Chains A and B, each alone.
Chain A
Amino acid sequence: MSQVVYKRADSLTKVPFTFCPGCTHGIIHHVVAACIDELGVKGDTISVSSVGCGGMNPPFWDTDSIYSMHGRAPANATGIKRMNPDKFVFTYQGDGDLASIGTAEIVHAAHRGEKISVIFVNNTTYGMTGGQMAPTTLAGQKTTTSPYGRDADHCGNPIRMSEMLATIDGAKFIERVSVDTPANIRKAKKAIKRSFECQLKGLGFSMVEVLSTCPTNWGQSPSDSLKWLRDNMMPYYPLGNFKDYE
């Protein structure tokens, strides 16, 4: 007798992902959807999308979904959640969206202790617009707008959002994870589920930062990208929990 050990999450529609080959956005989407399934909140979920590659996702969710202006997903989510305190509301934002143009919105959503969950996908680059430098781009990293490598004297060192947001009282769960290996995918799922539970328990703001690859704009193969993530991103962006609740 056959037994189902893995299947497409129910919280996803049948629309195929439109991400580039090897990009880990797809894995992250599946993990998020699986957590929604397991928590049984699919019918009460409202997804708030952002601008960038993460913003391609509304058609993928088998739930209500709204598309935000660049960086404003936490503000949209604030309005939705405050009007629907019993529903499950999460944003899905990239590093350009969350760590650059949307810094005010994410900091103050955390500061107010908005009972929303945030999936923050950090791939050190603006993917959709063609690989420009992000606030998260590593020192020395070449992008289309840092063709000689990021120079910290010129534009600062990359910003660590998880560490920063963990200092804010209203933030109740902050963790950085990666989806570069099966073991890390399992850990990422555990963290995302716990961050969602933080909202469902009404505790406050929660965010999971997921280190992700951008093989297309990094100009690397998918497997080289995973290695680059491990060798370069993880030392600067250490995995781990920065804030947890009882």
Chain B
Amino acid sequence: MSKVLMKGNEAIAEAALRADVDAFFGYPITPQNEIPEYLARELPKKGKLFLQSESELSAMNMVMGASAAGKRVLTSSSGPGLCLKQEAISSMALTRLPAVVVNVVRSGPGMGDLAPAQEDYWQAGNGAYRIPKLLPASVQEAVEMTYEAFDIADQYRIPVLVLADGMIGQMMEGVDFNKLPQRRENLPEKDWRMAGTNEKGHWNHMTLHPNMTLLKATSILENEIYPEIEKNECKVEIVDVKDADIVLVAYGSASRMSKSVMIDMEGSEIKLGLIRPKTAWPYPYDAFDEIGSNCKAVIVPEMNIIGQMIDDVRIGAKGRWPVYHVGNDSKSTLNPEFIMNKINEVWEEVK
């Protein structure tokens, strides 16, 4: 048996177990609850820690402590909870502590509602840092990305965000755990861990100090760490953009709607292409240079209002094509019909 049928959230939790996660800290919030529920059941069986915290604020600060102790740590949440986690994510970005944060995104702003959404694209903290953001479009990919996220976190000593929309978290699909990526080798030793001098032979003061000022620390991030990540960790799927009349740019569930529209519109006068970023940072700006000379417009379907990834698309487009948003309306979240209507409307404008 190579494939199993699993709900996205449970599959994400199982992927973390297989990545040898040592601890999970979290707080209940829909639509991610199956992740903590699965781990509350499974982690103790392995002698590992599941702890429900008093708030997302506290959960992320517990993650910070456990990560500082040198362990592999996971937390998960959704929009309003991720807001609260920003504080410690930001702190960990500076202190350079690895961890994996899964955001199973619901609608916003504020409490929003429980509908799946892509409203947290820009929500990754209070500035002054970057963290890798992975964008799964299927349960299989959520599993692979969560699994690899632990290695990325450890390799660069950085928190990694898995940005899965509520659809990915809540739906069931076949998953093949034999297809997990290879574990990375030669990950750095955590000789900075908080474990006492008896164990390590030296102490670490995990804070800024005269030899590591804020400007020095942030300069290392900007000039050494982030360029490495941009060079190594950017991922994208590119479909039929060479001779496309209109290129769709979408991630997660919106990319699957886009693919279904491409199938439905096969044989129509409009040739469609797709750029599907698998990472929001680093962002695959270079993918836009693959677009052929036929292209008249770029459309960005997102399960949100206003549009968020569209800003990165405009940077990638460099003014070469007009860029359009299509998202939720007053009655429905984004669906394939909205995308098709937008394509036809834009085509009338640009053909």
Contacts and interface: CB of A to CB of B under 8 A. Distances in A.
Given A59-B209, A83-B22, A66 B196 contact: no
B207 A49 contact: yes
Interface residues of B, number: 40
Interface stretch (B8-16, B52-60, B111-119, B172-180): B52-60
A82 B194 contact: no
Interface stretch (B67-75, B217-225, B242-250, B339-347): B67-75
B204 interface: yes
Q: Is the interface of B mostly helix, strand, loop or mixed?
A: mixed
B207 A76 contact: no
A66 B195 contact: no
Contact of A64 (B59, B64, B87, B195): B195
Contact of B197 (A42, A58, A77): A42
A79 B55 contact: no
Interface in B151-180: none
B205 interface: yes
B51 A82 contact: yes
Given A80-B68, A104-B54, A64 B88 contact: no
A113 to B, nearest CB: 12
A68 B66 CA distance: 13
Interface residues of A, number: 36
Given A46-B194, A64-B196, A80 B65 contact: yes
B203 A64 contact: yes
Interface string A66-103: 11110010011111111110011000000000000000
A156 to B, nearest CB: 22
A69 B91 contact: yes
B40 interface: no
Interface string A16-34: 0000000000000000000
Contacts of B69: 79-80, 83-84
Contacts, number: 132
Given A79-B25, A79-B67, A79-B69, A58 B207 contact: yes
B35 interface: no
Given A72-B57, A84-B194, A66 B206 contact: yes
B57 A66 contact: no
Nearest to B208: A67
Nearest to A43: B198
Interface in B19-63: 22-23, 25, 49, 51, 53-55, 57-59, 61-63
B197 A64 contact: yes
A142 interface: no
A45 interface: yes
Contact of A105 (B58, B64, B68, B204): B58
Contacts of B199: 43-44
B197 A69 contact: no
A44 B198 CA distance: 6
A152 to B, nearest CB: 28
A108 interface: yes
A63 interface: yes
Contact of B58 (A49, A64, A75, A81): A75
A111 B95 CA distance: 28
B196 A63 contact: yes
A45 B199 CA distance: 11
Contacts of B196: 43-46, 63-64, 84, 87-88
Interface of B: 22-23, 25, 49, 51, 53-55, 57-59, 61-71, 73, 87-88, 91, 95, 194-199, 203-209
Interface of A: 42-46, 48-49, 58-59, 61-69, 72, 75-84, 87-88, 104-105, 107-108, 111
6 contacts: A66-B95, A72-B64, A78-B51, A82-B23, A83-B71, A104-B58
Given A66-B206, A83-B49, A107-B54, 4 more contacts: A59-B209, A82-B49, A83-B69, A87-B196
